[in-house]
A and B are shown apart, each in its own frame.
Chain A
Amino acid sequence: MTGTTADTQWKFNARYVVLPTENVDTDQIIPARFLTTTDRTGLGPSAFNDWRYLADGSPNPDFVLNRPESQGAEVLVAGHNFGCGSSREHAVWALAGAGFRAVVSSTFADIFRGNALGNGLLPIQVSPEVLAKLMSLHTPTSTVKVDLEASTLTLPDGETVSFPVPPFSKYCLLNGTDEMGFLLGTSDDAAKYEAAHRSSFSTLAAGAA
């Protein structure tokens, strides 16, 4: 059924983990005390730290990510309003560092969604009904198929649903380009804008205070 063509970065089959919690905030995804890093890498082991580890540092056997069947799963399926709270991009870096390539939920917080798209962690928004079905269909070996170009998610029972991706984000991901390049390309327009709009505030650099 699936797997007849080789997986690519943006079209792949993967096992999934179900975290049925709603309103997972970015403080849970990566607690603030890990934000003293000046790198984007190395946060994977601390993802969901306070749910994932007991006070003595050992893995919490009750937390879903620690179950044997969760190892190697590349898609996280979670309750609605995933990624709310703090703007910390570290949350996305931590999830990617923990091996996730996509998160499926019925809604995502705005800043998290943008951060995720910018880092190639796909925020896959599905209806509450599809989310509930995906959770109920879960077995240790069941897989979903993600296809960014088609913007579809195929459930373990073969049902395929589409998910929204901003066209520009899709273009950037599929073509390996990024927003920075596009923004630098608008530099002339920014210069025209600056010439037409004089700043009303005296700046620190100009030396008030």
Chain B
Amino acid sequence: MSAPKTLFEKLWERHLVRPQTESTPAVLYIDLQLVHEVTSAQAFTELRNRGLKVRAPQRTIATMDHSTPTTPGGFKAMPVLDQSAQSRKAQLDQLAKNCEEFGIPLLALGDKRQGIVHVIGPELGLTQPGMTVVCGDSHTSTHGAFGALAFGIGTSQVAHVLASQCLLQTRPKTLEVRVDGTLRAGVSAKDVILAVCTRLGVGGATGHVIEYTGSVIRALSMEERMTVCNMSIEAGARAGMIAPDETTFEYLKGRPHAPKGAEWDAAVADWQTLRTDEGATYDQTIVIDGSALEPWITYGTNPGMGMSINQPVPDPDSLGDRSERDSAVKALKYMGLTAGKKLAGTPVDVVFFGSCTNARISDLRDAAQVLRGRHVAPNVRVLVVPGSQQVKRQAEAEGLDVIFKEAGAEWREAGCSMCIAMNGDQLRPGQLAVSTSNRNFEGRQGSGGRTLLASPLTAAAAAVTGVITDPRTLLEVAV
């Protein structure tokens, strides 16, 4: 009988082309690589310089998302392309050329399947349990929601995978994050992962792969699980994963690239073995009481600086060591927030619904639930940016676009948009935004802009009231 194993250990061992030795890292086989315009050009150049081909183009798929326009008509509708737009367009054109030259399928702007890499992989059924998935993007951890080992890599590694379909990796440690209990009404997957990031801190899971377990995680839909796994990197984790179950299989069945017929049955039988065995041990475990969680919001300049929405902003003097206090003081100064004061009631300038964290159909339904029959507060700009063209069409079929537009929000084309602020969608200096995205770093959403990370429900509550608001007060549920 073999020793009990964690889900991570099973995935790791399954993909060993060569095991780790004292002098060399493991050679890990990569089942799927996702490619986008921003982190791939230099990798293709390297292949060209070395005279290399892409080893497995059929295990590679490219799309355009990070710097794409989200305004109707895209570049074509712009009367003049400024210097920034010209360089973005040149980078997108370069991706198209590279995909053509190296035989990689590209879901370009205009394709009905285009969208954020971490939204389209799952929705096309490309992301499947048991796989290794990589992308030159740290939020690749999203795909771990399917019981895959999925992680972000640098551009040199993008080149490695293109050329060899393998990666050199040293084996990480394992961290179980168990979320017990049942979430209360108005508390969502985003609140769970923000609370996890607060508990672990922005670097707390460095060197580890997280497996999320517990009754709260089991009860989440696939889209909610993706939200949780997506932000694993915000605690420093190499990857985050959730063992596949009926919820996973139900989501995947019938998707364009999912197995069919007898192959489906065989795949499910295999996927059912992908769970941590009884008696297997993690290097570390933390437990969070999901029943006690409230809507969560960040107040600082990294995703680990968060709190329950009804708490006062922590006093830096109450924090551990001096360097931690200095960081908190610096963060509060940047954010223009006062220690000891509650965030609720603080006026906001912008609300952003979007990103690979929270731009799937269920997120837009959450936002619409609050915005329906209400209007965006005066002087607040609200952007709704669907995660993919497919999400956009689904939302329009459900009439969500009408709800958003009637409420006074902007309904945009799919892309990363204001999460990374490369495409012209950005905060102005000093603006305060509530955002459903994943990073509140200084200037992340535009130079000098200030970001509070929250769930789509909390963001929607801020959109209609114009101030930070506990969404449960608008949903008529218990606070």
Interface residues of A, Cβ cutoff 8 Å to B: 20-23, 25, 27-28, 31-33, 35-40, 50, 55, 79-81, 84-90, 92, 107-111, 114-115, 118-119, 166-168, 171, 179-180, 182-184, 186-187, 189-190, 193-194, 197, 199-206, 208-209
Contact = CB atoms under 8 A, between A and B. Distances in A.
Contact of B42 (A36, A40, A85, A201): A40
Contacts of A197: 14, 29
Nearest to A108: B206
A183 B168 contact: yes
A110 B208 CA distance: 9
A106 B174 CA distance: 21
A209 B124 contact: yes
Given A81-B236, A111-B153, A204-B105, A38 B45 contact: yes
Interface in B202-261: 202-203, 206-207, 233-234, 236, 238, 256-259
30 contacts: A22-B327, A27-B443, A27-B444, A28-B442, A32-B444, A35-B66, A35-B422, A36-B38, A36-B91, A36-B422, A55-B429, A80-B203, A81-B236, A86-B138, A110-B236, A118-B156, A166-B25, A167-B22, A167-B23, A168-B23, A179-B160, A187-B55, A194-B29, A197-B14, A197-B29, A200-B130, A200-B267, A201-B259, A204-B257, A206-B58
A171 B238 CA distance: 24
Contacts, number: 219
B27 A209 contact: no
B423 to A, nearest CB: 10
B431 to A, nearest CB: 15
B206 A183 contact: no
A131 B59 CA distance: 44
State the main secondary structure of chain A at its contact with B. loop
Contacts of B273: none
Contacts of B442: 27-28, 50
Interface in B69-120: 84, 87-88, 90-91, 94, 103, 105, 113
A21 B327 contact: yes
B435 interface: no
B312 interface: no
B138 A201 contact: no
Given A180-B50, A206-B58, A33 B152 contact: no
Contacts of B270: 200
B202 A81 contact: yes
B203 A89 contact: no
Contact of A33 (B125, B233, B327, B421): B421
